Chains A and B, each alone.
Chain A
């Protein structure tokens, strides 16, 4: 098999609402525009806005794409949200000599210590670029620029038309952000060794068919409490004890029901569940709660 016959597989890590699906679609459209074969599809599930999501691409210069299964051994991994590297094994199955592209405020040196392995590492501060060029911290199109720089999988210009098509009047900002990321992405060849995954996507074990109760009835009331929705947040509430009057309004309005009163009477969010919606901060009469970025 020649290099040209190879199908490049990409896995995107993002959060519901961050536009990872759009990124993958634009990449596939641009590759198809270049005369390549490509596909883009998300991993479907019940997770909502804020929840970690996976999206997949396959790109081949010459062969139609036949595989209709999730990408488990990617050549390229793109991480839209820096917080994800702490809650999921973003490098799971990443091939030796593959490419890991991450949106982070950290320097190449700092991030290397966290994500060292036998791969190429590319970093870009996409959040800051997106804020500057688009006015919002939505990094999906910005990260396309970083992807092109780090892999050369398509030509940067090929993205222009798909971006125009998708964003219309707002295309220019997205094209500029994409280009700026292309310019600012830093790349290093690493030579670390991966011994074992730090955390797999699904560590739970599920029942055999004989273990299911009739009709799949669940007898353990409220066992969803084991599920950490705290992984979804990109901002967390911080309470200023000086300003807090312990009224409990934050407790009342929390959609997660994750705010409780501690021994000193203060209401604090349980970060295991807090998704970082910011309602408590917005509704606090005394402005005692501030939302601060995770990471």
Chain B
């Protein structure tokens, strides 16, 4: 459990940049993650947002939940739009037409990041634009009604990877986006979750200070798509970390840091049993998943310890 200091308001700005009145589902982890991200980003930013839940719930004309400059254009091009904003500011600053040091932030869901927006993201990371790309990963296409993405975990039942008599649901392992980001040799990659708000906000603050591209992958619990009661959003996120299925870590150049390490991971069963999307899984499949989670966690831990000099 994250050591929370008691008096939250002394540690967190009370300013909100993602205004209430947004139309996210009750208990939406992604809305919470966006709210926390925005707090950490502050006001001197420009956001480019991909099509998806957060775009839809925050911007029905003529209203907006955004208190910072924000642009939505399409689903797959958010990284590219953000790179344009960054380049535009750069040239305008050079010409004395723009004086602020504004951080550009791209936001997208897991579908907009790992699937349809993958190419544009890779282009932006490779070109080294000075921006933060944040993936809000709720592990399926929730905006269109819970279809599988390449970020959906093995065994999860979605509307296009339904569990059935001859199927366990999603048959593929979750695409490792943070590792792909690391492979682009960018200065900062991190994972985070709304259930660990201070860790999340610290990582955003760190990314703001970094020159060049940062990639932050935030697990965002979706009570609707994961089929769990809306009050269990925070708990589910916590269990994802405590079971090791979604470890919190950072990669600064080659240096890995496991932000929360557990001498003993909780059994994956504790995480699965909360959620309807895993309810159909047999003991056998669950234990296979357990093994892979342990192996992946061990790999990560090895990377983190080998560079602890």
What number of B residues sit within 8 Å (CB to CB) of A? Answer: 47
The answer on a CB contact under 8 Å between A277 and B231 is yes
Interface-central residue, B14, B56, B231, by most chain A CB under 10 Å? B231
Which of A226, A233, A283 is the most central at the interface, judged by chain B CB atoms within 10 Å of its CB? A283
Residues of B within 8 A of A50 (CB): 25-26, 230
The residue from A48, A218, A270 contacting B24, defined by CB atoms under 8 A apart: A48
A282 to B195, CA, bound (A): 13
Q: Which of B58, B64, B234 contacts A253 (CB 8 A)?
A: B234
Q: Taking CB as reference atom, which chain A residue is nearest B55?
A: A46
| Interface contact B63-A248, CB-CB below 8 Å | no
Q: Does B231 contact A282, Cβ atoms closer than 8 Å?
A: yes
Q: Evaluate contact between B63 and A218: CB separation under 8 angstroms.
A: yes
**Residues of chain A contacted by B235 (CB below 8 angstroms):** 282-283
A49 to B224, CA, bound (A): 7
| Minimal Cβ-Cβ distance residue in A for B68 | A221
With the chains together, A258 CA to B64 CA distance in Å?
16
Which chain B positions have C-beta within 8 A of A256?
20, 22, 31
B45 CB–A CB distance under 8 Å: no
Give bound CA distance, A270 to B21, whole Å.
11
Q: How far is the CA of A240 from the CA of B9 in the complex (A)?
A: 20
B24 touches A255 (CB 8 A): yes
Cα distance A226–B62 when bound, in Å? 11
> With a CB–CB cut-off of 8 A, which chain B residues contact A260?
14
B63 lies within 8 A of A227 (CB): yes
Partner of A49, one of B19, B25, B197, B231: B25
Contact status B66-A49, CB under 8 Å = no
Q: Give a binary string over B180-217; 1 marks a CB under 8 Å from any A CB, 0 the rest.
A: 00000000000000100100000000000000000000
- The answer to whether A49 and B26 have CB atoms under 8 Å apart is yes
Cα separation A57 to B194 with both chains bound (whole Å) = 41
Q: Is B18's CB under 8 angstroms from A257's CB?
A: yes
Q: What residue in chain B is nearest A250 (Cβ atoms)?
A: B8
- Which residues on the A side are within 8 Å of B29 (C-beta)? 255
Contact of A226 among B21, B230, B232 (CB under 8 A): B21
Q: Which of A46, A218, A225, A245 contacts B6 (CB 8 A)?
A: A245
Name the one of B22, B26, B58, B234 contacting A283, with C-beta atoms under 8 angstroms: B234
Task: Assess A17 versus B64: contact at CB under 8 Å? Given A255-B31, A257-B20.
Answer: no
Would you give the 0/1 interface string for A214-255, flagging 1 where the beta carbon is closer than 8 Å to chain B?
001010111111111100110000000000011111011111
Q: A281 an interface residue at 8 Å Cβ cutoff?
A: yes
Number of interface residues of A (CB under 8 A): 50
Contact with B along A115-148 (1 / 0, CB 8 A): 0000000000000000000000000000000000
Interface of chain A: mostly helix, strand, loop or mixed = loop
Contact assessment for B8 and A252 in the assembled complex, using a CB-CB cutoff below 8 Å = yes
Complex Cα distance A46/B23, Å? 7
User: Per-residue 0/1 for A264-280: is the Cβ within 8 Å of any B Cβ (1 yes, 0 no)?
Assistant: 00000010010111110
**Does A51 interact with chain B (Cβ within 8 Å)?**
yes
Whether a CB of chain B sits under 8 angstroms from the CB of A261 is yes
- Judging by beta carbons under 8 Å apart, are B57 and A276 in contact? no
Indicate if A206 sits at the interface (CB-CB under 8 A).
Answer: yes
- B12 within 8 A of partner (CB): yes
Provide the residues of chain A in CB contact with B309, threshold 8 Å. none
Chain B residues lying within 8 Å of A221, measured Cβ to Cβ, are 64, 66-68
B233-A223 in contact (CB<8A): no
Q: Which residues of chain A come closer than 8 Å to B232, judged between CB atoms?
A: 282
Any A CB within 8 A of the CB of B166: no
B20 engages A253 (CB within 8 Å)? no
Q: A261 contacts which of B9, B65, B234 (Cβ < 8 Å)?
A: B9
- Contact mask for chain B residues 56-86; partner A; CB cutoff 8 A; 1 contact, 0 none: 1111111111111000000000000000000
Residues of A at the B interface (CB closer than 8 Å) are 16-17, 46-51, 206-207, 216, 218, 220-229, 232-233, 245-249, 251-258, 260-261, 270, 273, 275-279, 281-283, 291
Q: A224-B65, A283-B234 given; name 19 further pairs at CB < 8 Å.
A: A207-B62, A216-B62, A221-B67, A222-B65, A223-B63, A223-B64, A224-B19, A225-B21, A249-B8, A251-B9, A253-B234, A255-B32, A256-B20, A257-B18, A270-B20, A273-B21, A277-B230, A278-B230, A279-B233
